[in-house]
Amino acid sequence: MGNVYANSYLIVFVFLCIGVLLPVGALTLGKLLRPHVPSEAKQTTYESGNNPFHDSRVQFQVRYYMFALLFVIFDVETVFLYPWAVAYNKLGLFALIEMLIFVLMLVLGLIYAWKKKVLQWM
């Protein structure tokens, strides 16, 4: 394994350490510094002044899942677009046609979702 490749990930590791240490350090420091006087009213859920009347984790509407589903499918499509774009100059016309067919398939799916009114919120 090339040492350049391994060493280039050292900086990723350093950033990872900073990213973990910074919030942990800041929160710990804040906990040491701030006064800690809990009372009944302070520990209720904050709902802009209203009194909370049931559990905050309610059942969501199925529409949320529709958007998650569309996100996942098109996320996977994007994954295939990256290597195509990087290698495009060496690939030529055939790859372009392949990718057009691929995108066309997913556009069909998008049109289906549109016709089924999945994209509408209300």
Question: What is the smallest separation between the CB atom of 53 and other proteins, expressed in angstroms?
Answer: 15
Residue among 35 and 92 whose Cβ is closer to other proteins: 92
Query: Going by C-beta distance under 8 Å and a sequence separation of 6 or more, which residues neighbour residue 45?
Result: 52, 56
Say how many CA atoms lie within 13 Å of 57 toward its Cβ: 0
First to last CA, the chain: 55
Question: What is the smallest separation between the CB atom of 39 and other proteins, expressed in angstroms?
Answer: 25
Binding site for other proteins (CB under 8 A): 1-2, 5-6, 9, 13, 57-66, 68-73, 75-80, 82-88, 90-91, 94-95, 98-99, 101-102, 105-106, 108-109, 112-113, 116, 118, 122
Q: Could you tell me if 25 and 18 are in contact, meaning their C-beta atoms sit under 8 angstroms apart?
A: no
